[in-house]
Chains A and B, each alone.
Chain A
Amino acid sequence: MINAIKSLAAFTWNSRMKNTGVIVFAVIALIPAILSFLAIRYAVEDLSPVVFLREYIVPINVYFTLPFIALFLTLPTVASLYEKGAIAYIFTRPVPRWACVAGILVGSILSATPLLLLAALAPSLVFGIFMPDSFGEVMSLGFMHSLLLILSVIPYCALCVLLAIWSKKPLLWAAFLLFFWGTVVGSLPGDAKIWSLHHYVMGLAKSMCGIEKVATGLLPPSATPPSDGLSVLVLIVITVGMLYLAQLAAKRRDVY
């Protein structure tokens, strides 16, 4: 079973990363680094690299880069397998559907990882190079930022795998869920945000990267974030839940 998961993960990786489309993702992942460079180039004198990374770059990555990469990296792999009927090659093998789903999920997470590392580490590197005094501090923030994004992309990818199997119009659903249910609901004042995955991602962001506020003032993190343990637990439960529902959907959805 492990070999089957590895094999499908490798296929998913190949179909995403050995593809010219990956350049688009790389460019998207480099936007925070470009913004960092522009900030240095046109900076006010008292620009603090750490504050800029915490209040500007980390939120951009959590609000935008993370859902974008999870969505556009995961959905096309699964959706095209169904649309082209190629999923039949996989589902007519003596492998349980959950293992097929898990393989695709692992491949999606692995494909997202280098891009998220680029999104998190490149801005720190830019600051480290142009403002060498802050090198140690920004790189250490960069590593925590990377870890945050990689942990967070797991449930996001799981959600996308479920939607791609369950729905014939997954893009619409995924965009709605990731950006609206995730980012917008997760930043609502009051208790409604506890129902959003994003709330727990931002909880981790606060403790791992020290985010207290957002530079733009938009969608600020909660003043009373969940504990790290609860946040990680929620991410795990959502991932497992999505995986379970995805394999159920894989059994129910007809293959044409």
Chain B
Amino acid sequence: MVLAAAKQESRTQTEKAILPVVASARGLGKIYRRGAEDIHALQDISLDFVHGGFYCVLGPSGAGKTTLLNLLGVMDVPTTGTLIVSGRTIAEAGQVRLSEGARDRLRRENIGFIFTEFFLMTTLTAIENVQMPLLWAGKKDLEYAVELLKRVGLGHRLTHRPSELSGGEMQRVAIARALINRPKLLLADEPTGNVDTKTRDSIFELFRELNAEGLTIVLATHDRELADRVDMVVHLHEGRIVDGKEY
């Protein structure tokens, strides 16, 4: 089932075929064990995320949105199926093919993450938070960090700590932080879950701009209104891709 329930509007099949695939899943599944019980968080997910695409994973709580993002972000490994991210086979037929260190490196070099709760370091300023991924990459690029903060509209908040920022501003800092390593894939897990409608819209517009510049974005949300503004929507329900009408 490839993009079985995805709403395809702007890209044609031909366009899709010639665009490189950033991430690809075939028969992907994830089972968590809770005591003696197996929880099927994801089942039989087959999807291709092409370069420059803007995807929305839509579903209610417990549908498997976060699990899917964690797998795409190689923070977790699948129990079944095959997963390829940025040309590297993470798992094949349920067997993990990439070491933890290699997965860390792959994530650092190719993927940007944004969370609902921002996860900013409270002791660091905005500019320091943005630069943090560079520390792990052994790089320094203050100019680019400043540029990114200006880009997200926080050029005047460089030295402010998270406690001095609004929810929307904190999420913008988190977005800048996710972009600092120039990722190919941006994964956003309910990024507007903790902000008001106006801020949500402005953040979404920022995503739009980034996508227009060629960044592949996968946005997990239960906000239908947001999903309606996205080209491709994957409906998830109880760990499976379903027809949009079922949700």
Chains A and B form a bound pair: no
Interface residues of B (CB under 8 A from A): none
